[in-house]
Structure 1
Amino acid sequence: MENPRECALDVLIKVDKKEELSHIAISNVLEKYQFSEKRDRAFFTRLVEGTLERQITIDYVADQFSKTKIRKCKPLIRALLRMGIYQILYMDQVPDSAACNEAVKLAKKRGFSRLSGFVNGVLRNISRKKETISYPKKDKNLVTYLSVTYSIPEWIIKFFMKTYDDETVEKIIESYLEDKKTTLCCLMSKGGKDVIRKELEEENVTVEDGELIENAVKISDYDFLYRLRAFREGKCYVQDESSMLCAKLAGAKEGQFVMDLCSAPGGKSLYTADQIKGSGQVLSRDLTEYKTDLIEDNIERMGFTNMEAEVFDATILDEEHIEAADVVIADVPCSGLGIMGKKNDIKYHISEDGMKDLVKLQREILTNAVQYVKHGGTLIYSTCTINPEENEKNMQWIINNFDYEAVDITEELPKNLKIETAKDGYIQLLPGVHPCDGFFIAKLRRK
């Protein structure tokens, strides 16, 4: 990697201009430089993800030290300031002088010599006075305090406060900033968790058991997933425990036909194909070829013969499959408020109006999904968000408008997960409260 800071600068500019989502942009750079120094790759990843994660806090600090508000700066200068401030405030191993000097060099290299003095002045001033930066006080204005402390837009905090008490809201948004280990699902058909865990540990990976699902592990201290033999050989794949639980609750049996409607990259389909032990069939669909290619890659790596990927628009009714499926999983496009700790772009891109539009889209998909299930079959409705309009209200809408009833899932939950609403057929998992992403799962039976 020629210059990890310059690579980070390019990604931050792309994300700021909304040209690319951060996880895709980061992944593209890491793939390009997969054989570079591990240290450079780790520095690049942390710098991009950290700067985006802390952007609201960083901008709050920048605006105290710069005559030109950061929103008014040119995109390149804004990105340089943000990543410089991130290094000064949050990367103890980086000397402040290096953060300042490298930002100045990049400003000059990219044709902004006349603004390099401005960049230098702001960053050096913050470096000198970082112990005296003033932040909002919790007792003066709780929403502003939470927004700046945890770098979450104020409207999202107010939105959460409509449903949860202040303490729960703080737990949720605090969890978005916690370091995330990578969660893997170990395939039972490839030896199961104990065998796969041993292989990972032989490659000096730190492995911990998952907390909700028997075949889940959490890994850290590795460089690149594709370098791990167990991953390359299709014995495991990346999936959060909330998503595994969703597939587990679907309860597919050997020989059954399962449809997964919006499935990329295919985690729930893979879990199901493994669960039904090579029998039956899992039809794993998504809207674009780009998405189904991700599913195909996973199918090929796992070597599953009872799963296929197909490009299909879930808002269009597929008459061929009416009343054909034993199980339908509808994990629909949603606002993603439950996974903001993993996808930093979400908090800057989503809006209340956008969430209302999503409810319309979700109901379009559900109007078709309910028709694919056989009588007596199962519909799983899930999202990775924390929005009652997209979650409980959509579930109730299905029950009110179609021949479905809620299924009590209390006995199907992991023993360490006690959620009162399980008896009513659904659970809302919350990051910071439960050991997984924010996720909504409802289980319904067609009458």
Structure 2
Amino acid sequence: MTNGINTREMILEILLQIDEEGEHSHIAIRNALSKYQFLPKQERAFVTRVCEGTLEYRIYIDYIINSFSKITVDKMKPPIREILRSAVYQLKFMDRVPDSAVCNEAVKLAQKKGFYNLKPFVNGVLRTVARQMDELEYPSREKNLVKYLSVKYSMPEPLVLRWLNVYGEETTEKMLADFLEEKSLTVRCRTYLNSVEETCESLRAQGVTVEDAPYLPYAKKISDFNHILALDAFIQGKIMVQDVSSMLVAEIANPSKGDYVIDLCAAPGGKSLHMGDKMEGFGTVDARDVSQYKVDLIEENIHRAGAINVQAKVKDATVFDVDSECQADIVLADVPCSGYGVIGKKPEIKYRSTAQKQEELVILQRNILDKAAEYVKPRGVLIFSTCTIAKEENEENMMWFMNNHPFKLESIDEYIPDELKSETTALGYLQLLPGVHGTDGFFIARFRRK
């Protein structure tokens, strides 16, 4: 407890917000830490790690709890369930806090939340887990591969089965392992106004560790800082938070000075600003999104970057904009998707996946692509991208688009580094896989209007 703030109570409230209210994990954690900005770095790190870890390892943790509790996790009251989950995460994965303290704090929190009669239950389950956890038997790989991978890597069985069928055992396990790995933050150094080395020097001067990210010389991984909002390079717009996979969109789009670009689903604006930078301040990037909240995010980044050729507008990508018909040299359609490629950053995605949602997304994507096609000039370029690894949303929608619109795929080999070139990139598309390519899972296809 610091300054009257019980960090474990904070953790409970964040987890309930994510699990019961459907909030995104990064937003729930960010909002809570913003509310208590005076928390020391160590406490902030503790809250973040326990929240993220409890969420990432939920299936693994539930397997442990269900092995030692007479009441299964799904039958528990939500606050008790999250108290036990976060405590078991600490018992299993964190050595800094003694087991006895983890148990005691969990019991105290249960009482504080009005569950006085459940104190013995919470205490009994956690002390049994602490004593016997290392003796627990887990599912057998040989007898049930899907169950084994599901528990070991905390991934719902339907997703494990789907990826085994598409990508095979070796690649699937690489992806599952990668989702659980802690990663540095990836940023794009803006080469339009500053050299990469100048930006890196600024970061290092503030104690930040800077490493090369794969594929692109201006992509860097940064770590060992408390808050990105306190970094001069961020405040001055010299860096943009962006994964390498997302940076490849602008590389593959390859805009020219003076182009008119429409980015249909632009928030928070990383790709729009990258396009603007590649055009060196000339031309116009029309960065659009569906709500004022999302446009505010884009405008915040435009202002910080001092981008003079990027403008943000509220426009629904599913509604045809007659004024844009045949106007754009390049259209970016980074469409809403299942997000399976970024599960490592937003672990709640894996628990919210359903077959019905997948089908609805495919229809939504086709609706947006229908409109996007109309905005491209004759001989203009359309870039279709997603942050998922689902073939229904990627390759299958790519083929559907070509069969229904006067566009052809165009090789992307001249725009990407040699190590990413393959048979598919020669055709015009790239599927990046987590754990295989060193990036988020991401799909990019380049079309030319006939």
| TM-score normalised by L of structure 2 | 0.98
2:129 alignment counterpart: 126
List aligned pairs for 1:245-324, cutoff 5 A: 245-324=248-327
Q: CA deviation at 1:4?
A: 1.6
1:197 alignment counterpart: 200
Pairing 1:25–2:24 present: no
For residue 119 of structure 2, what is the amino acid of its counterpart?
S
1:65 alignment counterpart: 68
The 2-side partners of 1:194 and 1:102 are apart by 47
Out of 162, 167, 172, the residue aligned to residue 165 of structure 2 is 162
Pairing 1:109–2:112 present: yes
The 1-side partners of 2:68 and 2:230 are apart by 44
Asked if structure 1 preserves the Cα contact closer than 8 Å seen for 2:338 and 2:361, the reply is yes
Q: CA deviation at 1:419?
A: 2.6
The 1-side partners of 2:375 and 2:241 are apart by 28
What SS does structure 2 have at the residue aligned with 1:135? coil
The 1-side partners of 2:39 and 2:91 are apart by 25
List aligned pairs for 1:365-384, cutoff 5 A: 365-384=368-387
What SS does structure 1 have at the residue aligned with 2:342? coil
Out of 355, 358, 362, the residue aligned to residue 359 of structure 1 is 362
Contiguous gaps of at least 5 residues in structure 1: none
2:210 alignment counterpart: 207
1:436 alignment counterpart: 439
Asked if structure 1 preserves the Cα contact closer than 8 Å seen for 2:188 and 2:218, the reply is yes
The 1-side partners of 2:384 and 2:293 are apart by 24
Alpha-carbon displacement from aligned partner over 1:208-241 (angstroms, at most 9, x marks no partner): 0111112110001111000111001111110000
What SS does structure 1 have at the residue aligned with 2:240? strand
The 1-side partners of 2:382 and 2:84 are apart by 49
The 2-side partners of 1:243 and 1:344 are apart by 19
The 1-side partners of 2:428 and 2:21 are apart by 38
Contiguous gaps of at least 5 residues in structure 2: none
The 2-side partners of 1:19 and 1:435 are apart by 29
Out of 413, 417, 424, the residue aligned to residue 420 of structure 2 is 417
The 1-side partners of 2:218 and 2:338 are apart by 28
Comparing 332-341 with 404-413, which one deviates more in the overlay? 404-413
For residue 260 of structure 1, what is the amino acid of its counterpart?
D
Comparing 206-215 with 314-323, which one deviates more in the overlay? 206-215
Out of 323, 344, 350, the residue aligned to residue 347 of structure 1 is 350
Comparing 51-60 with 7-16, which one deviates more in the overlay? 7-16
Out of 377, 386, 403, the residue aligned to residue 400 of structure 1 is 403
The 2-side partners of 1:122 and 1:192 are apart by 56
What SS does structure 2 have at the residue aligned with 1:330? strand
The 2-side partners of 1:114 and 1:178 are apart by 38
| TM-score normalised by L of structure 1 | 0.99
Out of 219, 232, 237, the residue aligned to residue 235 of structure 2 is 232
Q: CA deviation at 1:92?
A: 1.5
Asked if structure 1 preserves the Cα contact closer than 8 Å seen for 2:189 and 2:220, the reply is yes
For residue 102 of structure 2, what is the amino acid of its counterpart?
A
Identity %: 51
Asked if structure 1 preserves the Cα contact closer than 8 Å seen for 2:254 and 2:415, the reply is no
The 2-side partners of 1:146 and 1:19 are apart by 26
Following superposition, which runs of at least 4 residues in structure 1 exceed 4 angstroms of deviation?
A: none
Alpha-carbon displacement from aligned partner over 1:50-73 (angstroms, at most 9, x marks no partner): 000000000011001100001110
Pairing 1:186–2:192 present: no
1:55 alignment counterpart: 58
2:41 alignment counterpart: 38
Comparing 131-140 with 66-75, which one deviates more in the overlay? 131-140
Comparing 266-275 with 188-197, which one deviates more in the overlay? 188-197
What SS does structure 2 have at the residue aligned with 1:272? helix
Asked if structure 1 preserves the Cα contact closer than 8 Å seen for 2:331 and 2:381, the reply is yes
Q: CA deviation at 1:189?
A: 2.3
Asked if structure 1 preserves the Cα contact closer than 8 Å seen for 2:251 and 2:416, the reply is no
Alpha-carbon displacement from aligned partner over 1:327-361 (angstroms, at most 9, x marks no partner): 00000000111111110110011111210110000
For residue 410 of structure 1, what is the amino acid of its counterpart?
D
The 2-side partners of 1:293 and 1:150 are apart by 37
The 1-side partners of 2:38 and 2:272 are apart by 32
Alpha-carbon displacement from aligned partner over 1:354-382 (angstroms, at most 9, x marks no partner): 10110000000000000101111110000
The 2-side partners of 1:345 and 1:291 are apart by 21
What SS does structure 1 have at the residue aligned with 2:377? strand
Q: CA deviation at 1:413?
A: 1.1
Q: CA deviation at 1:36?
A: 1.8
Out of 14, 18, 36, the residue aligned to residue 11 of structure 1 is 14
Q: CA deviation at 1:192?
A: 2.9
Asked if structure 1 preserves the Cα contact closer than 8 Å seen for 2:373 and 2:382, the reply is yes
Out of 170, 173, 176, the residue aligned to residue 176 of structure 2 is 173
For residue 282 of structure 1, what is the amino acid of its counterpart?
V
What SS does structure 2 have at the residue aligned with 1:428? strand
For residue 376 of structure 1, what is the amino acid of its counterpart?
R
The 1-side partners of 2:203 and 2:296 are apart by 27
What SS does structure 2 have at the residue aligned with 1:315? coil
The 2-side partners of 1:242 and 1:419 are apart by 16
